[in-house]
Structure 1
Amino acid sequence: MPSLPSTIYPIGAYNLHGLVWQTSSNVSDVSDVSIDISNHKPYIICVDAYQGHLLKIDPWSEGATVLNNYTASEFRDATGLAIAGETLWITKNNGIYYCNMVDFELQPFMELPNKIDGIAVSEGGVYVSSSEVGKIFVFGRATRTLLRIMDAPGAGFEALALVGEELWVSDRTEETVYRMNAKTGEILHRGLTPFPNPVGLGFLDNELYVVYSGDENYIRENPNDLDEPFSVAAREKTFIHRLKFNQYKDGKLNYTLTNGYKVEMIYLEELSSEEPTSVYNLTWRVAYPTDNYRQKLLAIEPIGIPFEEEIVDGQRVAAFKLGNLKPEEARMFGWKATLELRAIKYELKDSEVDFVPELSEDMKKLYLIDDDGLSMDNPLIQAAAREAVGNETNILRKMLLIRDYVYDKLAYRVTPYIASPEEVLVRGTGSCGEYVGLLLALTRLNGIACRTVGRYKCPHENDQVMNIPLNQYYNHVWIEFYIPSIGWLPMESNPDDTGHRPYPTRWFMGLPWYHVEIGKGIFFETIQPQPYSIGELALNHVRFKVLEEI
């Protein structure tokens, strides 16, 4: 039997939810215990919420068979799916239903006051999630009585799957899969999904697969419209993908790495000046992508002209010795890097950092100062720093309070320049760099070491097109905060600001695979001497290629 594909695109499916693996035998006597596992062909069952089709999906051909030929209308709008023995269970609106797997006639199990999302069923219990109230309810399968209530781990629609004593949860808003204790609700590990809109998950042996359903934009052609024959339209996008979920420990740091990609990144500067002039003895430095748990620099090579490698505060930097430049002199120079990029999520409980050592004097001098126009002496910013954390003393809870305070005060807008934190706070909108400036000011005023990191995101629309040039126009920055005896932890600047509470925590102590970290604690790009700004002298080009999944 050929190996299972990592990505499956079921033909004829619109809006898949739920995911259950089943196996069938190629031999007639399925009671024969000597049957080799190779004789059992696995297939997937999902429900299409749009058509109501209960689909049996062949993972190799991607063809699908409708199982509920005569009851499809009853399955429309179903969002949860589970199979226990010979009984199939679904959730739909605020109801739980079950049926046999012969005629697929749905029978009501119970109704709840709130809309239900996902479902998982054990021999004795029925687990259902409700994002409306942020809870997971457990009912007795025989008694239909409420056994217990657990807090939902995330902020959005959640699909469920039971594996022994563990409850696995995928959260659509958080773009996260959680591994939980099924009885206590304790989160054991969490990992980021490589794509948005996870709405179902299920295991085949030890392989975890996740189903994704959402919309994608595409260029629609209308030959009858001679003035505007092309327009942007939206269509459904649904597929199934294998999620690699690996836990690691390094000292006091626990983290989970999920799917990654080998990526080629090119950063190129093209000399281009509106007011050509001579520049003398010019050295142009561009930082390398860094090496860490989630990102590995496999190779880097010069483009245009050679560079010399330098070390700046422990970071590798490419130094281009351009020398003397004449007016209107044409040059292009930069580097091409090959990277392995993975998603990372750190696991750290509040209770683990109730008592942490004091910051060293060196760290205070580096990361508790106003070194970038942060307005830390401004009364408005100082009052905001106090208001954000109140009486909280735990460093993790303080960071979340500061983040949520900034999210309450700001809405995302692209701006032509980075304004001061007090201007941004009064304005109420900001770019990623302006979110970072305000976050830095509030964290440092609260005694938490914090620094800017970034620099670019690989284009990452839904599933990846391999070996095709992908151009990125905007750069991006976020932050890292430092916990003594633990280390540096990442936190996104603005993407988790959804405009309303509860804000997701997917990128609090986590980063998706498509972030490229370049130069930590140092400037990404500098010129020396500095009679001009970089933007006055050159135009940059940034290009990515996703080479393969790793």
Structure 2
Amino acid sequence: MTSSTVRTAKPPRTLRPFGVYALHGLATWQDKLIALDYVRGYLLQIDPLNDNTIVLNPHHVERFESATGLAVWEQTIWFTKENSVYYCDTETFLPRLFVTLPYAADGVGVWNSTVYVTCQKLGYVLVYERNTSRKITQFALPGVGEANLTIRDEELWLCDRIEQTVYCLDRATGELQFSVLTPFDNPTGLTFATDPASQQSTLYVAYAGEEAYIRDNPNEDPSHELTFRDRTFIHPLSVHYNKQERYALSNGYLIEMSYLEELLPLDAVDLEDLEWRIALPAETDRQKVCQVDAIGLPFTEELKDGQRVAVFKFASLKANERHIFGWKAVLEVRGIKYQLNFDDTYRAPELSPEFQARYLVDDDELAMDKPVIQQAARDAIGTETNVLRKILKIRNFVYDRLSYGIKPHIDTPDVVLERGIGSCGEYVGLLLALARLNGIACRTVGRYKCPPFAERQNVPLEPDFNHVWLEFYVPGFGWLPMESNPDDIVEGGPYPTRFFMGLPWYHAEIGKGITFESLRSKGIPLSDLLDISVGDLAINHIRFTILGELE
């Protein structure tokens, strides 16, 4: 296996500098980290051992206000502010103009005689000669958001705020080598730092945003109110690129997930010889199942299409019986990003007859026989023939026509398309219908997301909703994930591709392509015997606990 790995000598540690509001830009200088406080204009020196924070420019903070990008070369500090790139020495910190762009300059990096500047509005990394300010060339930015950058030898590393992604590019050509998802949103700077003692290199990423919290206001009655506060910190990014298997993993967490049913029927129902099946977590490239235990009642385990399922058996179930039963699993979960590109799928093999018969059919009320859906399937891809381009065009077509909204039940894709608003399940239904009509095998995946608060460890966390997404199949490679609606965040696009062929660490993969939960009485599906559903018989309880970050 060929791989490129960035590791830390010690378990990852979050750095929380003192007295800062929003960190933008990150660099290394004299075995310390330096960063910009976008709000205050502080140029900060941060000790990674103890978070000690020093303002380096106490007399010139106004000149650094609203600065974003940051770099250090020898004894010169470079930064971006509004449309311009500046540099200053480390004695006076008096900025001097290097170059001005027609649009905002986001990030800057310097290597020998070359200066690299990112500009989201232009969509390029601009390359300049350091001594003359002459533009040499430009590379296309790989993402859609504001990007910061740093340089390591022949590699150009960028972090995209909207994409929640770090990209590794070839410094000479701008060619993308690989990309990884960041474990937190809003990355605003990155740098490599070497521990003087161990000589281990760590890739640090800065994050800045806001978080909601409940404030106790004694001047109001009731005193509790919802408000927001700044949230900024620095965290090591773990990167493992598996070149042979074509994916890259990032930070992972050990989590405990439990799913249980509380038997509490709405109507009096007596059932005989009942089998209650609940899917179990799956083993994948990004998710490892360490342990599974029963909760409340024992279960047997069976395989359904290669997926593990817990089977709870009741000889008889009376209307007045009450039980709690389910499973608890310990999982290792990581962020993953698959590294396929359009050229890789240009001559993809034909889909096998077995996959055509199984994954190109309407097996879940997908309205694939409706003229409006068939026309949408044609409009979505136009004349495209490349399987990877086709599925991306279908995703963007759906995003153009739907907005996200929670619904009490799942409508068929034709109704959803006409309404223009859909839940995650309705996004999935429309995506499945359009993809299958265009010859792309796909299946539903879910079922829950851990609340993405990695710092809240060893406390119970409960998701507000269930969640589904899908996987599509590329012949000759395999199944690839694609989120349902979370990338639909920009009206009319361009849409990020962070969760196209990628998943963050907080997704729990359960029951790929199979029903998550089903009941049989005397061997017959319960829905064929009675007009009741699982929700009529029981209340589910889902809980996550983040046990720690994986080394």
Query: Could you say which TM-score interval applies, normalised by the shorter chain?
Result: over 0.9
How many Å separate the matches in 2 of 1:245 and 1:314? 30
- Give 3-state SS (helix, strand or coil) of 1:203's partner: strand
Instruction: Show CA shifts across 1:34-85 (max 9, x none).
Output: xxxxxxxx32100101000111111222120101010011100000000001
Q: How does 1:35-46 map to 2 (within 5 A)?
A: 42-46=31-35
Shift of 1:120: 0.4
Q: How does 1:120-139 map to 2 (within 5 A)?
A: 120-139=109-128
Shift of 1:376: 0.6
Q: How does 1:67-86 map to 2 (within 5 A)?
A: 67-86=56-75
Answer yes or no: is the 8 Å Cα contact 2:282–2:511 preserved in 1: yes
Instruction: Show CA shifts across 1:281-325 (max 9, x none).
Output: 111111110001100000000000100011111111110002211
How many Å separate the matches in 2 of 1:403 and 1:103? 52
Q: How does 1:187-336 map to 2 (within 5 A)?
A: 187-205=176-194, 206-225=201-220, 227-250=221-244, 253-336=245-328
2:171 aligns with one of 167, 182, 189: 182
Shift of 1:469: 0.3
Answer yes or no: is the 8 Å Cα contact 1:216–1:236 preserved in 2: yes
Counterpart in 2 of 1:156?
Answer: 145
How many Å separate the matches in 2 of 1:167 and 1:441? 40
Q: Aligned partner of 1:545: which letter?
A: T
Q: How does 1:433-512 map to 2 (within 5 A)?
A: 433-461=425-453, 463-500=454-491, 501-512=493-504
1:516 aligns with one of 503, 508, 518: 508
How many Å separate the matches in 1 of 2:474 and 2:52? 51
TM-score normalised by the chain length of structure 2: 0.94
Answer yes or no: is the 8 Å Cα contact 2:33–2:193 preserved in 1: no
How many Å separate the matches in 1 of 2:501 and 2:101? 35
Going from structure 1 to structure 2, the CA distance change for 1:445 and 1:123 (only over 3 Å counts) comes to: same
Going from structure 1 to structure 2, the CA distance change for 1:313 and 1:487 (only over 3 Å counts) comes to: same
How many Å separate the matches in 2 of 1:151 and 1:507? 20
Counterpart in 2 of 1:343?
Answer: 335
Counterpart in 1 of 2:545?
Answer: 545
How many Å separate the matches in 1 of 2:69 and 2:320? 63
How many Å separate the matches in 1 of 2:424 and 2:121? 30
Shift of 1:123: 1.3
Q: Aligned partner of 2:176: which letter?
A: I
Could you list the runs of 5+ residues in structure 1 that have no partner in the other structure? 24-41
Counterpart in 1 of 2:388?
Answer: 396
Could you list the runs of 5+ residues in structure 2 that have no partner in the other structure? 1-8, 195-200
Question: Structure 1: which 4+ aligned runs deviate by more than 4 Å?
Answer: 2-5
Shift of 1:5: 5.3
Answer yes or no: is the 8 Å Cα contact 2:29–2:72 preserved in 1: no
- Give 3-state SS (helix, strand or coil) of 1:210's partner: strand
Counterpart in 1 of 2:423?
Answer: 431
Shift of 1:4: 7.9
Answer yes or no: is the 8 Å Cα contact 2:259–2:326 preserved in 1: yes
Q: Aligned partner of 1:315: which letter?
A: Q
How many Å separate the matches in 2 of 1:172 and 1:499? 14
Q: Aligned partner of 1:427: which letter?
A: R
How many Å separate the matches in 2 of 1:14 and 1:212? 11
Answer yes or no: is the 8 Å Cα contact 2:380–2:393 preserved in 1: yes
Correspondence 1:19 to 2:13: no
How many Å separate the matches in 2 of 1:256 and 1:153? 16
Q: Aligned partner of 2:303: which letter?
A: I
Counterpart in 2 of 1:31?
Answer: none
Counterpart in 2 of 1:100?
Answer: 89
How many Å separate the matches in 2 of 1:259 and 1:476? 22
Counterpart in 2 of 1:27?
Answer: none
1:6 aligns with one of 13, 33, 50: 13
Q: Aligned partner of 1:323: which letter?
A: A
Counterpart in 2 of 1:171?
Answer: 160
Answer yes or no: is the 8 Å Cα contact 2:12–2:549 preserved in 1: no
How many Å separate the matches in 1 of 2:142 and 2:490? 20
Shift of 1:464: 2.1
How many Å separate the matches in 2 of 1:54 and 1:384? 53
Counterpart in 1 of 2:46?
Answer: 57
Residues 496-505 or 398-407, more deviating = 496-505
How many Å separate the matches in 2 of 1:502 and 1:116? 20
Q: Aligned partner of 1:233: which letter?
A: T
Q: Aligned partner of 1:216: which letter?
A: E
How many Å separate the matches in 1 of 2:102 and 2:318? 74
Shift of 1:536: 0.6
1:140 aligns with one of 125, 129, 143: 129
Answer yes or no: is the 8 Å Cα contact 1:5–1:60 preserved in 2: no
Residues 150-159 or 523-532, more deviating = 523-532
Answer yes or no: is the 8 Å Cα contact 1:52–1:78 preserved in 2: yes
Instruction: Show CA shifts across 1:253-277 (max 9, x none).
Output: 4000000000000001001122122
Number of aligned residue pairs: give it.
527
Q: Percent identity?
A: 50
Residues 496-505 or 485-494, more deviating = 496-505
How many Å separate the matches in 2 of 1:323 and 1:539? 21
- Give 3-state SS (helix, strand or coil) of 2:366's partner: coil
Counterpart in 2 of 1:387?
Answer: 379
Shift of 1:362: 0.8
Going from structure 1 to structure 2, the CA distance change for 1:5 and 1:321 (only over 3 Å counts) comes to: closer
Shift of 1:499: 3.0
Answer yes or no: is the 8 Å Cα contact 2:107–2:148 preserved in 1: yes
